[in-house]
Structure 1
Amino acid sequence: MTPAGTHHAPELRAAAQHLGRRRFLTVTGAAAALAFATNLPSAGVAAAAELDARRIKDDPFTLGVASGDPQPTSVLLWTRLAPAPYEPGGGLPQERVSVRWELAHDARFRRIARRGTATAHPEYGHSVHVEADHLDPGRRYYFRFRAGQWVSETGRTRTAPAAGSRPGSLTLAAVSCQAYHDGYFTAHKHLAQDDVDVVFHLGDYLYEYAVNAVGGARNYTDRTLPAHYNKETKTLQDYRLRYGLYKSDPDLRAAHAAHPFVVTWDDHEAENNYADDISENGDPAAEFLLRRAAAYRAYWENLPLRRPQLPKGPDAQLYRRLVWGRLAQFDILDTRQYRSDQAYGDKAHPAGPETDDPARTITGATQERWLIDGWRRSRALWNVVPQQVTFSQRRLDLTEQPKLSMDAWDGYRASRQRVLAGARAARLDNLMVLTGDVHVGYAFDIKADFDDPSSKTLGTEIVATSIASGKDGADKPANWETYTRANPHLKFYNGRRGYVTVAYGRDSARADFKTLDAVTKPGASLKTAASFVTEAGSPGLRPA
Structure 2
Amino acid sequence: MPDIPLPGRVSRRAVLLGGAAALGATALGGSALASALSLPGAGTRRLADPFTLGVASGDPLPDGVVLWTRLAPEPTADDGLGGMPDKAVPVQWEVAADEQFSKIVQSGEAQAAPELGHSVHVELEGLQPGAEYFYRFRAEGSISPVGRTRTAPAPDALGELTMCFTSCAHFGQGYFTAYRRMAEDEPGLILHLGDYQYEYAAKDGDVRKVLGPETRTLANYRQRHAQYKTDPDLQLAHATAPWLVVFDDHEVENNWADETPEKPDDGFLDRRKVALQAYYENMPLRTGSKPGGIDMRLYRRYGWGSLVNFHMLDTRQYRDDQACGDGVQSGCTDREDPDRSITGAEQEKWITDGFRDTTARWDVLGQQVFFSKIDLTPGAEEGYNMDAWDGYVANRDRIAGAMADSAVRNGVVLTGDVHRHWAAEIKRTHDDPESRAVGTEFITTSVTSGGDGNDDGNGDVLKENPHVKFYANRRGYVRTKFTEAELRADYRVLPYVSKKDAPAETAKSFVVEDGNPVLNPA
Deviations 1:68-127 (A, max 9, x none): 010000100000000000112101111110000000000011001110000000010000
Distance 1:316 1:114 in 2: 30
Q: Which stretch has the larger CA shift, 236-245 or 167-176? A: 167-176
1:219 Cα deviation from its structure 2 partner? 4.7
- Given that residues 217 and 520 in structure 1 are in contact (C-alpha distance below 8 angstroms), is that contact kept between their aligned partners in structure 2? no
1:57 Cα deviation from its structure 2 partner? 3.1
1:61 counterpart residue number:
51
Deviations 1:348-373 (A, max 9, x none): 11354311111110000000000000
Change in 2 beyond 3 A, CA 1:219/1:389: closer
Specify the code of the residue in structure 2 equivalent to 1:217: D
2:161 counterpart residue number:
170
2:148 counterpart residue number:
156
2:33 counterpart residue number:
none
Residue aligned with 1:187, SS: helix
Residue aligned with 2:351, SS: helix
- Given that residues 175 and 497 in structure 2 are in contact (C-alpha distance below 8 angstroms), is that contact kept between their aligned partners in structure 1? yes
1:283 equivalenced with 2:265 (yes/no)? yes
Deviations 1:415-456 (A, max 9, x none): 101111222221423100000000000000001233444321
2:423 counterpart residue number:
443
1:366 equivalenced with 2:346 (yes/no)? yes
2:393 counterpart residue number:
413
Distance 1:537 1:277 in 2: 40
2:515 counterpart residue number:
537
Specify the code of the residue in structure 1 equivalent to 2:176: F
Residue aligned with 2:180, SS: helix
Deviations 1:110-156 (A, max 9, x none): 00111000000001000000001100000000000001320000000
1:147 counterpart residue number:
139
2:207 counterpart residue number:
218
Change in 2 beyond 3 A, CA 1:273/1:52: farther
Specify the code of the residue in structure 2 equivalent to 1:150: S
1:92 counterpart residue number:
84
- Given that residues 155 and 257 in structure 1 are in contact (C-alpha distance below 8 angstroms), is that contact kept between their aligned partners in structure 2? yes
- Given that residues 351 and 404 in structure 1 are in contact (C-alpha distance below 8 angstroms), is that contact kept between their aligned partners in structure 2? no
Deviations 1:273-319 (A, max 9, x none): 000000011112xx211100000000000010000000001101000
1:493 equivalenced with 2:484 (yes/no)? no
Distance 1:74 1:96 in 2: 25
Distance 1:257 1:56 in 2: 26
- Given that residues 204 and 437 in structure 1 are in contact (C-alpha distance below 8 angstroms), is that contact kept between their aligned partners in structure 2? yes
Distance 1:318 1:483 in 2: 33
Specify the code of the residue in structure 1 equivalent to 2:195: D
Match of 1:431 among 391, 394, 411: 411
* Aligned 1:455-494 pairs, distance under 5 A: 455-476=435-456, 480-494=458-472
* Aligned 1:107-118 pairs, distance under 5 A: 107-118=99-110
- Given that residues 53 and 69 in structure 2 are in contact (C-alpha distance below 8 angstroms), is that contact kept between their aligned partners in structure 1? yes
1:180 equivalenced with 2:171 (yes/no)? yes
Specify the code of the residue in structure 1 equivalent to 2:68: W
1:187 Cα deviation from its structure 2 partner? 0.5
Residue aligned with 1:254, SS: helix
Distance 2:57 2:480 in 1: 20
1:195 equivalenced with 2:186 (yes/no)? yes
Deviations 1:462-514 (A, max 9, x none): 0011000000011325xx01111111011110010000011111111000000
Distance 2:112 2:102 in 1: 26
Distance 2:495 2:327 in 1: 31
1:208 counterpart residue number:
199
1:121 equivalenced with 2:82 (yes/no)? no
1:271 counterpart residue number:
253
Unaligned runs of 5+ in 2: 1-39
- Given that residues 96 and 126 in structure 1 are in contact (C-alpha distance below 8 angstroms), is that contact kept between their aligned partners in structure 2? yes
Distance 1:204 1:147 in 2: 30
Distance 1:90 1:342 in 2: 37
- Given that residues 324 and 332 in structure 2 are in contact (C-alpha distance below 8 angstroms), is that contact kept between their aligned partners in structure 1? no
Distance 2:154 2:251 in 1: 33
Residue aligned with 2:489, SS: strand
Distance 2:124 2:240 in 1: 17
1:256 equivalenced with 2:246 (yes/no)? no
Distance 2:98 2:510 in 1: 35
TM-score by length of 2: 0.90
Match of 1:300 among 231, 255, 280: 280
Specify the code of the residue in structure 1 equivalent to 2:216: K
* Aligned 1:237-256 pairs, distance under 5 A: 237-256=219-238
Distance 2:331 2:439 in 1: 23
Distance 1:98 1:250 in 2: 25
Deviations 1:21-46 (A, max 9, x none): xxxxxxxxxxxxxxxxxxxxxxxxxx
Match of 1:70 among 60, 72, 76: 60
Distance 1:435 1:421 in 2: 19
Distance 2:343 2:312 in 1: 11
Distance 1:135 1:230 in 2: 41
1:514 counterpart residue number:
492
1:357 counterpart residue number:
337
- Given that residues 171 and 208 in structure 2 are in contact (C-alpha distance below 8 angstroms), is that contact kept between their aligned partners in structure 1? no
Unaligned runs of 5+ in 1: 1-50
* Aligned 1:324-339 pairs, distance under 5 A: 324-339=304-319
- Given that residues 453 and 474 in structure 2 are in contact (C-alpha distance below 8 angstroms), is that contact kept between their aligned partners in structure 1? yes
2:130 counterpart residue number:
138
TM-score by length of 1: 0.86
